[in-house]
Structure 1
Amino acid sequence: METPAAQPVSPESAPDSDPRQRRLVPESLTASQQIERSPEFRADLERIRFSPYYSRLTAVTQVISQTGAGLAIHNRLTHSLKVAAVARSIAVSLQADTSSAGQTIESLGGCHPAVVQAAAAAHDLGHPPFGHLGEQTLDRLARQHLGLAEGFEGNAQSFRILTRLDEFDRDGAGLNLTAAVRAAVLKYPWLRQEGQGRDGGAETPRGLAPSPDGAGARKFSVYSLDLPAMQDARGAYPRIAEHQQTVECSVMDIADDIAYSLHDLDDFYRAGLLNQAAISAEFRAWQRGRRKLAALDSAELVLGGRIPGYALELLWRRLQRKDSWIASADAFQEAVDRVFTEVVDGLLQSPFDGSRDAERALATFTARWIDHLQTSVVVHASPPPRSGHVSLNQAAWHEVSVLKFLHERFILDRPDLTVYQRGQARLLERLIRGFAAWLDDPADARRAPRRLLDLVDLALEDYLRLARTAPELLDTRNESALRHRARGRGIIDYVASLTDAQATSLDQLLAGTSERLWDAGQGL
């Protein structure tokens, strides 16, 4: 992994001849400057790394907080660093490929290692306090309390930060990144409303399936306010289909899956949260009773979800239903057998005790799996709707699915974690309601945090511009209604930018219970 320079790089923009290097506010370079400067993509990587939104990720929960489980637990920053390392390794390999696969990649726009590093560094910038729980809570509050039909989505928030909220050197251009990097963070290149009416089947792109509450796409990478920035970035890739990721984006997406599946496993093993006996019972029951389980009705499996073997069978049926383009019964069985042998009957046999031997065993295990997975990629000239131009091969795809199953089934469903998360959800709700009431108070609104007021003004500017340029994306052009929405979007932009600790401190301040007024209020 490359290390950043002492100060952020600040080059002028590259010439317009390369659409991938186009910035929002282009400038020209002399021929000598073009030769002397490193690629523009490197400059983008440094701009992201020096962003305060990037720095805050060190204090944002990945799955479980460091305060509750120790500093060895990953946060959003350490996760992003490791995603970037995996993504770069894959990109270097693909860039050096001279076979037909390499030619396909080149024809689709290329795969520059610095672009995938920058996209990996930026992919979680929009994640709010308290991990995925915070994302779900802010989405619900944005739609139900603030009147924002598009709600909140971490990927869309990341793109909004890069192209609008954060600033480098020019007003209104965000970090003014190249088109390549802006396009590479668009894992779900569509608006939320594009998910309405979809059936969620094998022909629906991953993430474009409707959310359970029918509010539109389950995942999306851009709010209507930021659609022009997405269109500008995607315009540099005429050969990439409408709902398809760029090559560099698909590499970043794969790296995210690999890091998530292994580094979260690392965390939970260190924290002693993975019950080897319970996991072993699940895997052994499925291996021994596959035929019997296959004959059960899906409703019966759901009702008996705590019975060993049932959850793995449900996983297989979900993969088969949604990803028939790659799902294979034989490959799934082989993946279950491999994870059982190497993880359940291997790594988890000896509880993590903090010894040097335990550290060495865990490091060796993780390195071996990462090396295996990041070298298990294939290139598709015309990928299925639920895949990218670069994807994991069939065996590795099933292995990652089973690795993810471990913490989805044995960590995320834990009642003790749920109790903690419900408390965090209530904290975020108090913040949203508290700031909304504050801004609605004509006698005191002017004393709200300056950053919050700036974000509301910025959102209003965006809504008014949208009303002029693309009114079809709005259901009203009434200025009063747009001001109300701007207030909501500004509040969401503000709360989503907090760290876990800042959110907790602000909650105490708004409740009048904090005894450390000035310390708790830093950053307002």
Structure 2
Amino acid sequence: MSGALPPEDDFRSPFQVDRDRVLHTTAFRRLQNKTQVFWSGEYDFYRTRLTHSLEVAQIGRSICGWLLASTDDFSPENTIDADLVEAVCLSHDLGHPPFGHAGERSLNHFMAPYGGFEGNAQTLRLLTERIFSQRRTGMDPSRAFVDGILKYKSGWGELKEVEGKEPANHFIYDEQSEYTGWTLGGRAFPGELEVGKVRDSFKSVECQVMDWADDTAYSLNDLADSVRAGFLNEEAIRRWAEKRGLESGPDSPLGDLIRAISRGRIDSFVGHRIGLYVKAARVQETENFLSGLSNRYRFRIVVDQATQAESEIFKQLAFEVVFLSTQLKQLEHKGSMMLRRLWELFHLRYVDQQPVDGQFFQLLPPEQVEEIESVETAGERARLVCDFLAGMTDGYAVRMYQRLFSPGFGSIGDIVG
């Protein structure tokens, strides 16, 4: 990976090239059929990973515009690059598997003997090594772009050693440490940036903008979907607020949400709040071991405390009332079960290299089989099988499961589909 500049006759900046390459990939298009909150394809109005990524990108650009307009020392020539932030925001969910967080937990469990699975680490793997599936290569991203998507910087093995157990999330794969070194210009992390949350807090300013844009979209737009789906209504919010000891009267964030629902104005509520969240961000100069070398580390994003607290309330509301609901947990269980059976079958055939039903027939597409058979270790084979599963859309995973395990599924029409 070189982070090569565009050709001399290319009128785009390197960050516009990063963005455009992402937009035209199969991995990006697949996000339209990957779960955000509710299973994709159930209803037309629910957000998918694709619409979420587009919304995060728009919010990220708006934050950049706001910071340019509101920061005295910023100018069009000296500001946070909105094209870079847009590229980072569009890419931030590329590595997430089918069936949302349930799919991510399942793959991490399956991959525990081989270095784990993490959606953000998988995004990094795609962009640097595998996003162009036909030739199994990365997109030669710019250094600043890679830095922007490196939300977590501790390796799986490092966290396992520190925590004494296999980490559940928030890590990169051990073999990806070269990318953190590359973004740091070959420098090592200083001792005070300990493995885990402390090191993860050391982010480029573009990554911080993406983080707040993601939080904004997650905490507000998911509320709108939950209201339309019938999971959130006035009474459910009041009950939850009372249980949590939170204010839900007229002059509170939850009271504003209740009023918006009662008036049928949830979209206006969300749109207004997004604007407030954008303007709640400001930049602050900071000092660290890279601040004198790069503007990416000279500034940090600071968000108004009241707005941040409100965002956390909305996220907690959605998590406890919607994500933990019986209906969604049943769907999560079903998705996890399908992934588990697919993993067990593919692991037997391709990682353990054992016959299935007494035969060595192929279960995966020829290009996947060829690549898996070209590597030597079980760990490499497992990672490639995991790549295949993680790249599935919800619909493709369901069809693959039905084709292999459902007795009533198997006509020529099913095979073609």
Of residues 202, 206, 211 in structure 2, which corresponds to 1:248?
206
Counterparts of residues 224-303 of structure 1 (less than 5 Å): 224-235=174-185, 243=200, 244-283=202-241, 285=242
TM-score normalised by structure 2 residue count: 0.84
User: Shift of the alpha carbon at 1:248?
Assistant: 0.5
User: Shift of the alpha carbon at 1:181?
Assistant: 1.1
User: Shift of the alpha carbon at 1:230?
Assistant: 3.4
User: Shift of the alpha carbon at 1:128?
Assistant: 0.5
Look up the match of 1:515. 410
CA distance in 2, matches of 1:389, 1:487: 40
* CA deviation vs aligned residue, 1:108-144 (integer Å, no higher than 9, x gap): xx5210111011110000111111111111111221x
Give the letter for the 1:441 counterpart.
Q
Of residues 163, 166, 169 in structure 1, which corresponds to 2:128?
163
Say whether the 8 Å CA contact 2:240–2:317 is kept in structure 1: no
CA distance in 2, matches of 1:369, 1:436: 47
Look up the match of 2:92. 123
Look up the match of 1:424. 335
Which has the larger Rg? Answer: 1
Task: Check if 1:392 corresponds to 2:308.
Answer: no
Counterparts of residues 88-167 of structure 1 (less than 5 Å): 88-100=61-73, 102=74, 111-143=80-112, 147-148=113-114, 150-167=115-132
* CA deviation vs aligned residue, 1:346-375 (integer Å, no higher than 9, x gap): 12335xxxxxxx4xx232211100000011
* CA deviation vs aligned residue, 1:272-305 (integer Å, no higher than 9, x gap): 111421321332x3xxxxxxxxxxxxxxxxxxxx
Distance 1:389 1:195, change over 3 A: farther
Give the letter for the 2:60 counterpart.
A
CA distance in 2, matches of 1:160, 1:195: 19
Give the letter for the 1:151 counterpart.
G
Distance 1:336 1:454, change over 3 A: farther
Task: Check if 1:24 corresponds to 2:8.
Answer: no
Give the letter for the 1:190 counterpart.
S
Distance 1:168 1:423, change over 3 A: closer
Of residues 453, 456, 463 in structure 1, which corresponds to 2:369?
453
**Aligned with 2:93: secondary structure?**
coil
Look up the match of 1:506. 400
CA distance in 1, matches of 2:3, 2:208: 27
Give the letter for the 1:75 counterpart.
T
CA distance in 2, matches of 1:457, 1:184: 34
**Aligned with 2:302: secondary structure?**
strand
Look up the match of 2:354. 441
User: Shift of the alpha carbon at 1:192?
Assistant: 2.2
Aligned residues: 392
Give the letter for the 1:376 counterpart.
A
Say whether the 8 Å CA contact 1:335–1:402 is kept in structure 2: no
Unaligned residue ranges in structure 1 (runs of 5+): 1-22, 199-209, 286-307, 313-332, 351-357, 461-478
CA distance in 1, matches of 2:175, 2:217: 31
CA distance in 2, matches of 1:404, 1:193: 30
Task: Check if 1:81 corresponds to 2:54.
Answer: yes
Look up the match of 1:372. 276
Give the letter for the 1:452 counterpart.
Q
Say whether the 8 Å CA contact 1:506–1:520 is kept in structure 2: no
Say whether the 8 Å CA contact 2:5–2:14 is kept in structure 1: no
Distance 1:451 1:168, change over 3 A: closer
Point out which structure has higher relative CO (alpha carbons under 8 A, 6+ apart).
Answer: 2
User: Shift of the alpha carbon at 1:416?
Assistant: 2.3
**Aligned with 1:340: secondary structure?**
helix
CA distance in 2, matches of 1:29, 1:123: 26
CA distance in 2, matches of 1:25, 1:123: 18
Q: Percent identity at matched positions?
A: 28
Distance 1:237 1:93, change over 3 A: farther
Give the letter for the 2:145 counterpart.
V
Distance 1:27 1:382, change over 3 A: closer
CA distance in 2, matches of 1:39, 1:335: 49
Say whether the 8 Å CA contact 1:195–1:218 is kept in structure 2: no
Distance 1:425 1:217, change over 3 A: closer
Say whether the 8 Å CA contact 1:60–1:499 is kept in structure 2: yes
Distance 1:172 1:444, change over 3 A: closer
* CA deviation vs aligned residue, 1:436-493 (integer Å, no higher than 9, x gap): 12222365255642243255368x4xxxxxxxxxxxxxxxxxx6xxx11111111111
Look up the match of 1:347. 260
CA distance in 1, matches of 2:346, 2:224: 38
Give the letter for the 1:438 counterpart.
R
Distance 1:368 1:518, change over 3 A: same
CA distance in 1, matches of 2:239, 2:71: 46
Give the letter for the 2:398 counterpart.
T
CA distance in 1, matches of 2:342, 2:185: 39
CA distance in 2, matches of 1:445, 1:232: 42
User: Shift of the alpha carbon at 1:67?
Assistant: 3.7
Distance 1:510 1:334, change over 3 A: closer
CA distance in 1, matches of 2:220, 2:187: 32
Give the letter for the 2:378 counterpart.
H
Give the letter for the 1:81 counterpart.
L
Look up the match of 2:312. 401
Give the letter for the 1:488 counterpart.
A
CA distance in 1, matches of 2:388, 2:30: 13
Unaligned residue ranges in structure 2 (runs of 5+): 194-198, 289-298
Say whether the 8 Å CA contact 2:130–2:138 is kept in structure 1: yes
CA distance in 2, matches of 1:383, 1:64: 42
